[in-house]
Protein backbone atom coordinates (compact mmCIF):
# COMPACT_ATOMS: atom_id res chain seq x y z
CA UNK A 1 0.00 0.00 0.00
CA UNK A 2 1.51 3.30 -1.20
CA UNK A 3 0.33 5.46 1.71
CA UNK A 4 1.77 3.07 4.26
CA UNK A 5 5.22 2.98 2.70
CA UNK A 6 6.15 6.29 4.32
CA UNK A 7 5.24 4.90 7.74
CA UNK A 8 7.19 1.69 7.34
CA UNK A 9 10.39 3.58 6.64
CA UNK A 10 10.36 4.07 10.41
CA UNK A 11 7.94 1.49 11.80
CA UNK A 12 8.04 -2.24 11.92
CA UNK A 13 4.77 -3.75 10.67
CA UNK A 14 4.45 -7.45 9.84
CA UNK A 15 7.26 -8.08 7.35
CA UNK A 16 8.20 -4.42 7.04
CA UNK A 17 11.30 -3.67 9.04
CA UNK A 18 11.49 0.00 9.93
CA UNK A 19 13.62 0.25 13.07
CA UNK A 20 13.23 3.87 14.09
CA UNK A 21 9.82 3.90 15.78
CA UNK A 22 7.68 1.44 17.74
CA UNK A 23 6.38 -1.80 16.15
CA UNK A 24 2.89 -1.12 14.77
CA UNK A 25 1.97 -4.72 13.98
CA UNK A 26 -0.42 -4.94 16.91
CA UNK A 27 -1.53 -1.29 16.86
CA UNK A 28 -5.05 -2.51 16.12
CA UNK A 29 -5.19 -4.03 19.59
CA UNK A 30 -4.22 -0.74 21.26
CA UNK A 31 -5.98 1.94 19.28
CA UNK A 32 -9.38 2.63 17.84
CA UNK A 33 -9.48 4.59 14.57
CA UNK A 34 -9.84 7.92 16.33
CA UNK A 35 -6.88 7.42 18.68
CA UNK A 36 -4.72 6.08 15.87
CA UNK A 37 -5.48 9.13 13.76
CA UNK A 38 -4.73 11.37 16.74
CA UNK A 39 -1.32 9.68 17.22
CA UNK A 40 -0.50 10.25 13.56
CA UNK A 41 -1.65 13.88 13.45
CA UNK A 42 -0.15 14.85 16.81
CA UNK A 43 2.96 12.73 17.40
CA UNK A 44 4.20 15.01 20.18
CA UNK A 45 1.02 14.95 22.24
CA UNK A 46 1.89 11.63 23.82
CA UNK A 47 5.41 10.46 23.04
CA UNK A 48 6.08 6.75 23.55
CA UNK A 49 8.37 6.75 26.60
CA UNK A 50 10.94 4.48 24.95
CA UNK A 51 11.38 7.06 22.18
CA UNK A 52 11.51 10.33 24.07
CA UNK A 53 14.45 12.33 22.69
CA UNK A 54 16.94 14.17 24.89
CA UNK A 55 17.76 17.86 24.75
CA UNK A 56 21.11 19.22 25.93
CA UNK A 57 21.31 22.93 26.64
CA UNK A 58 24.77 24.48 26.42
CA UNK A 59 26.30 27.48 28.18
CA UNK A 60 26.08 29.55 24.97
CA UNK A 61 22.33 28.90 24.78
CA UNK A 62 22.53 26.40 21.91
CA UNK A 63 20.60 23.16 22.20
CA UNK A 64 21.36 19.72 20.78
CA UNK A 65 18.56 17.18 20.53
CA UNK A 66 18.63 13.47 19.81
CA UNK A 67 19.49 10.19 21.49
CA UNK A 68 22.45 9.92 23.86
CA UNK A 69 24.75 7.18 22.54
CA UNK A 70 27.90 7.76 24.59
CA UNK A 71 28.81 9.10 28.04
CA UNK A 72 32.52 9.86 28.35
CA UNK A 73 34.33 11.61 31.19
CA UNK A 74 34.69 14.81 29.19
CA UNK A 75 32.10 14.35 26.48
CA UNK A 76 28.51 13.34 25.87
CA UNK A 77 27.82 11.92 22.41
CA UNK A 78 24.39 12.38 20.95
CA UNK A 79 22.89 10.96 17.74
CA UNK A 80 20.97 13.83 16.19
CA UNK A 81 19.18 11.94 13.40
CA UNK A 82 17.37 8.70 14.23
CA UNK A 83 17.47 7.55 10.62
CA UNK A 84 21.26 7.88 10.45
CA UNK A 85 23.25 6.27 13.29
CA UNK A 86 26.45 7.94 12.02
CA UNK A 87 25.01 11.41 12.58
CA UNK A 88 26.70 12.13 15.95
CA UNK A 89 27.67 15.25 17.84
CA UNK A 90 30.03 15.35 20.81
CA UNK A 91 29.27 17.92 23.51
CA UNK A 92 31.95 18.97 26.00
CA UNK A 93 30.60 18.30 29.51
CA UNK A 94 31.96 21.67 30.67
CA UNK A 95 29.57 23.36 28.21
CA UNK A 96 26.46 21.51 29.41
CA UNK A 97 23.94 23.48 31.45
CA UNK A 98 21.20 20.85 31.49
CA UNK A 99 20.13 17.51 30.04
CA UNK A 100 16.45 16.64 29.92
CA UNK A 101 13.60 15.10 27.95
CA UNK A 102 12.69 16.80 24.66
CA UNK A 103 8.99 17.37 24.17
CA UNK A 104 8.92 17.00 20.37
CA UNK A 105 8.46 13.56 18.85
CA UNK A 106 10.98 12.34 16.27
CA UNK A 107 7.92 11.47 14.14
CA UNK A 108 7.00 14.29 11.74
CA UNK A 109 3.44 15.69 12.16
CA UNK A 110 2.42 16.45 8.54
CA UNK A 111 2.56 12.93 7.13
CA UNK A 112 -1.06 12.77 6.03
CA UNK A 113 -1.18 16.15 4.32
CA UNK A 114 -0.46 14.75 0.84
CA UNK A 115 -3.06 11.99 1.06
CA UNK A 116 -6.70 12.02 0.01
CA UNK A 117 -9.44 11.26 2.51
CA UNK A 118 -9.99 7.77 1.12
CA UNK A 119 -6.24 7.05 1.22
CA UNK A 120 -6.20 8.09 4.88
CA UNK A 121 -9.18 5.86 5.70
CA UNK A 122 -7.56 2.94 3.87
CA UNK A 123 -4.30 3.51 5.73
CA UNK A 124 -6.03 3.53 9.13
CA UNK A 125 -8.00 0.39 8.23
CA UNK A 126 -4.83 -1.32 7.03
CA UNK A 127 -2.94 -0.61 10.24
CA UNK A 128 -5.87 -1.42 12.53
CA UNK A 129 -6.42 -4.74 10.77
CA UNK A 130 -2.75 -5.72 11.17
CA UNK A 131 -2.11 -5.67 7.42
CA UNK A 132 -5.32 -7.02 5.92
CA UNK A 133 -5.91 -4.60 3.04
CA UNK A 134 -9.42 -5.93 2.47
CA UNK A 135 -10.45 -4.64 5.89
CA UNK A 136 -12.84 -1.68 5.94
CA UNK A 137 -13.15 0.80 8.79
CA UNK A 138 -16.83 1.48 8.35
CA UNK A 139 -19.11 -1.28 7.25
CB-based contacts of 4, cutoff 8 Å, min separation 6 = 13, 123, 126, 127
6 binds ligand HEC (CB under 6 A): yes
**CA dist list (Å): 108 to 23, 98, 112:** 17, 25, 10
21 binds ligand HEC (CB under 6 A): yes
107 binds ligand HEC (CB under 6 A): yes
- With 0-12 / 13-18 / 19 or more C-beta atoms within 10 angstroms meaning exposed / middle / buried, residue 28 is buried
47 binds ligand HEC (CB under 6 A): yes
- Fill in the DSSP letter of residue 20: S
Minimum Å gap between C-beta 105 and ligand HEC is: 3
* Residue range at the interface with ligand HEC (CB under 6 A); choices 18-26, 63-71, 90-98, 128-136: 18-26
137 binds ligand HEC (CB under 6 A): no
Minimum Å gap between C-beta 15 and ligand HEC is: 16
Overall size of the chain counted in residues: 139
Give 47 or 68: the residue with its C-beta nearer to ligand HEC: 47
Give 37 or 99: the residue with its C-beta nearer to ligand HEC: 37
Burial 71-103 (b: 16+ CB within 10 A, else e): eeeebbebbeebeeeeeeeebeeeeeeeeeebe
Q: Which residues would be at the binding site for ligand HEC (CB under 6 A)?
A: 6-7, 9-11, 20-22, 24, 27, 36, 39-40, 43, 47-48, 51, 105-108, 111, 127
Amino acid sequence: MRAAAACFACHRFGNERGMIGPDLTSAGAHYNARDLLDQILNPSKEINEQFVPTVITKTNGDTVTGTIVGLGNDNVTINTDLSDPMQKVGVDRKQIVSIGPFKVSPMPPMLLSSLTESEILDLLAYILSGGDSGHRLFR
